């Protein structure tokens, strides 16, 4: 017959299991509620001015868009415009990962939305170690967009150090994925701190509320033109992008 001490131990274990089960149930219930809210979120239009002359449109997302109902994103169509691609934040600095990345990465592909993953660069950190953080977490396969480096802050360092660490990240990512990475930044940051040393890399440029194209001298392939868009399946506002080219040009930049 179990001793009194054994009975107390068993009761304690049962209580712990019950608390863990209730907490897990509450957590999954909360996540399901957030997903249901996103799935029920619909808009009559994108809520922004869409620039003319572009046929391929996309968005970029991170944890700030919370849980996304990607099937609703795919299904939305306004004036023959649909979301064809999505960039999503994967990593930041040396050790951080976006908490929504794994889900976004899988669900976008499940819903036939072409996907790309970006790393948010911390200029005061080692570029190679940041690339290793990205490589460890991002499995790019044929048909995905190339890796993306989001560089838009000096973080207190001189421009020379910024460029040195950016080159480390780009070299490590290109060496691993065997494809030239895309640089994301805004017009002023590129011209003031990056410049001609990086002109050989494809550019995804941010320049909001311009009517036809970003005002930058060098060539670019993606343009982030607005940060106030609305898309079915996403509760917060979202950034909108266009690709400069047709479907054949778009296909040519995908990872082979």
Task: Tell me if residue 210 is catalytic.
Answer: no
SS (H, E, C) the chain: CCCHHHHHHHHHHHHHHHHHHHHHHHHHHHHHHHHHHHHCCCCCCCCCCCCCCCCCEEEEECHHHCCCCHHHHHHCCECCECEEEEEEEEEECCCEECCCHHHHHHHHHHCCCEEEEEEECCCCCCHHHHHHHHHHHCCCCCCCCCCEEECCCCCCCCHHHHHHHHHHHHHHHHHHHCCCCEEEEEHHHHHHHHHHHHCCCCEEEECCCCCCCCCCCCCCCEEEEEEEECCCCCCCCEEEEEECCCHHHHHHHCCC
Annotation says 60 is catalytic: yes
**Active-site residue, selected from the candidate residues 66, 152, 174, 227:** 152
Active site residues: 60, 152
């Amino acid at each position: 017959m179990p001793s009194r001490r054994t009975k107390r131990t068993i009761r304690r274990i049962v209580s712990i299991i019950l608390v863990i089960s209730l907490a897990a149930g509450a957590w999954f219930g909360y996540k399901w509620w957030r997903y249901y809210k996103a799935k029920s979120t619909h808009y009559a239009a994108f809520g922004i001015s869409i620039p003319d002359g572009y046929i391929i449109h996309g968005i970029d997302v991170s944890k700030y868009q919370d849980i996304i109902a990607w099937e609703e994103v795919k299904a939305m169509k306004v004036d023959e415009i649909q979301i064809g691609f999505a960039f999503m934040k994967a990593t930041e600095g040396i050790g951080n990962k976006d908490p929504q990345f794994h889900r976004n990465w899988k669900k976008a592909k499940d819903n036939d939305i072409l996907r790309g993953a970006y790393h948010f660069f911390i200029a005061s950190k080692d570029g190679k170690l940041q690339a290793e953080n990205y490589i460890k977490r991002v499995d790019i396969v044929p048909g995905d967009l190339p890796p993306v480096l989001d560089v838009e802050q000096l973080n207190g360092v001189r421009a020379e150090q910024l460029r040195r660490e950016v080159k480390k990240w780009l070299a490590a990512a290109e060496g691993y994925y065997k494809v030239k990475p895309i640089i994301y930044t805004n017009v002023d940051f590129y011209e003031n701190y990056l410049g001609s040393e990086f002109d050989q890399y494809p550019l995804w440029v941010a320049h909001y509320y311009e009517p036809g194209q970003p005002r930058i001298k060098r060539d670019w392939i993606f343009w982030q033109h607005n940060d106030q868009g609305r898309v079915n399946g996403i509760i917060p506002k979202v950034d909108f992008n266009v690709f400069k080219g047709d479907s054949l040009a778009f296909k040519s930049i995908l990872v082979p």
